[in-house]
Amino acid sequence: MFAIAFTRLARSGKDTAADYLVKKYGFEKIVLSEQTIPELEKEGKPLTKMNRSLMAERLRKENGKEILARRALEKARENGLQKAVFTGVHQIAEVEFFKKNIERFALVTVKAEEEKRFGRRTKLDAETREKFFARDKHDTTKFELGRVIDLADYTIENNSTIDEFQKAIDELMQKI
C-alpha cells in the first residue's frame, strides 16, 4: 500500500490536498476522526467536531494513542486499497504506527499563514480570532500536533491560489 497522511493546524488545507489526491491520483480518503463515529452513534451523540474530539481522547485512553490510525488502516485494508490518504493525524503514536505498518508512507504538513487560515474558517469554526487560534494551542499541546508537524517528511505551502496549491501537490507527488 502507498499512503500519505496530511497534518497541520485547522484550515491549512489538509482536506483540500487529500481531496485533490483522490480526484487526480486515485487515492481513497480516510479521516481519522471519523473512526469515532460508531461509538458516538451507539451513545446517541451528535457527530460534532467537539464530540469527535472527546470520543477520540477517550478511545486513546482506553485503547492506546494509535487507535484511530489502527482503525483507519484496518478500514483501508478491508477495502483493499492500494493508495490511501489519511487526514487528521494528531499523535506521534499514529505516525509511528503508520510508518511501521505501511510499506510506503509519507507524512506531509500543509503550511498556511494565520491570516489565510482564519479567512478560510467555516460555520463549524470559532468566529473570533481568539477562539479560533486557541484551538491551535489546544491541538499542538494536548494532541501532540506540534511534535507531529516536526516529524513531517515533506512540507507544502498553501498561501496562494488553489491552482498554486495543486501545483505544489503535483510537485510533491513527483518527489514521493
Residue 79 sits in a domain whose CATH number is 3.40.50.300
128 Rama sector, left if φ>0, alpha if ψ -120 to 50, beta otherwise: beta
Distance between CA atoms of 23 and 18, rounded to whole angstroms? 9
Which pLDDT belongs to residue 117? 80
Which pLDDT belongs to residue 145? 75
Structural domains counted in the chain = 1
CB crowding 55-79: b at 16 or more within 10 Å, else e: bbeebbeeeebbbbbbbbbeebeee
Identify the DSSP state of 19: H
Which pLDDT belongs to residue 25? 97
Instruction: Give the mean pLDDT of the chain.
Output: 89
Which of 15, 90, 93, 96 shows the shortest CA–CA distance to 56?
90
Its domain, for residue 154, covers: 2-175
Which pLDDT belongs to residue 143? 66
124: confidence class by pLDDT, cuts 50, 70, 90? low
Identify the DSSP state of 127: S
Which pLDDT belongs to residue 64? 95
Which range among 56-70, 83-97, 138-152 shows the weakest confidence by mean pLDDT?
138-152
